[in-house]
Structure 1
Amino acid sequence: MTAPRRPECSVPLVEVSITEFDLSCLPETGAVLDQLLALRPQQVVIDLAGCRHIDAAAIGLLLDVHRRMVRAGGVLAVRNPNPRITRILQTARLDQILPVHNDAGAAPAPATEEAAAPAASAAPTSAEVAVLPAGGTPSPGAAPRAAAYGRAAVTVRT
């Protein structure tokens, strides 16, 4: 008996802006990323422009998300880390595993040949998830769907 075929990517791009990314907020961030991966995105971009610190637990979570994305035929990329976070990512050699971009306008490129051929999107929609600190303000024009995750709030736009 063969297993039912898993649907291909249902969302072409999900962008996540993370402002706190360390052990103290990892359960909330992990829950958000689990929900995000349930969308079966073709590409996930984690924007760290507003993030001041990343620790080993957060790097472990990035590696887990990367592994899950590659298995699903998708690509995970990191965008706009500050110079300190860039050095941490380089020290952990994470920059050799997944794309790290410093230009907000640059489209992430696949880091491996496995991720180079993601499946075609089934739906021409995209979603943006912003992980904000408690009391943070969602992006203007955000859809009314928002949920709180401890010290983080998530806003999804399609």
Structure 2
Amino acid sequence: MAELKINVPENFSVEEADAFRQEINGMFDGGEKQFLFDFSRCVFIDSTGLGVLVGIHKKCVKLGGTLKLKSISSQVMRVFELTRLDKVFDIQA
């Protein structure tokens, strides 16, 4: 099964996190488990957004799927580095 490309919101924070989580959970329910999250439009992520990503990552691992992140700006990447989540996620250029 091919990776499903998902565009991450521009401001991935508490306001968008629940809807994003529900959307991805619906995709899990539909049998998807190979994801590529495109951060090219994302300029801000908060702890809620990070928590959603961690939850999705755990579910992917449990189901034998994959989660890759790509096109992360230096500002957003700094948040991943500060939280050491850059060591957890498969981050592509």
Normalized against structure 2, the TM-score is what? 0.90
- Aligned mates of 1:38, 1:15 — CA distance in 2: 17
Matches within 5 A, 1:1-158: 11-19=1-9, 20-102=11-93
- Aligned mates of 2:34, 2:20 — CA distance in 1: 18
**Unaligned runs of at least 5 residues, structure 1:** 1-10, 103-158
Instruction: From the superposition, tell whether residues 53 and 64 of structure 1 become closer, same or farther in structure 2 (CA, over 3 Å).
Output: same
What is the number of residues matched between the two proteins? 92
Post-superposition CA distance 1:69-91 (Å, at most 9, x none): 00000111111111000110111
Q: Segments of 4+ in structure 1 off by > 6 A? A: none
- Aligned mates of 1:89, 1:21 — CA distance in 2: 13
- Aligned mates of 2:22, 2:33 — CA distance in 1: 19
* Cα pair 1:76 1:99 within 8 Å, conserved: yes
- Aligned mates of 1:58, 1:84 — CA distance in 2: 15
Normalized against structure 1, the TM-score is what? 0.55
CA RMSD of aligned residues (A): 1.3
User: Post-superposition shift, 1:42?
Assistant: 4.1
Post-superposition CA distance 1:48-94 (Å, at most 9, x none): 10011000011111000000000000111111111000110111111
**Unaligned runs of at least 5 residues, structure 2:** none
- Aligned mates of 2:60, 2:31 — CA distance in 1: 8
User: Post-superposition shift, 1:41?
Assistant: 2.6
**Which deviates more, 27-36 or 11-20?**
11-20
**AA in 2 matched with 1:50:** R
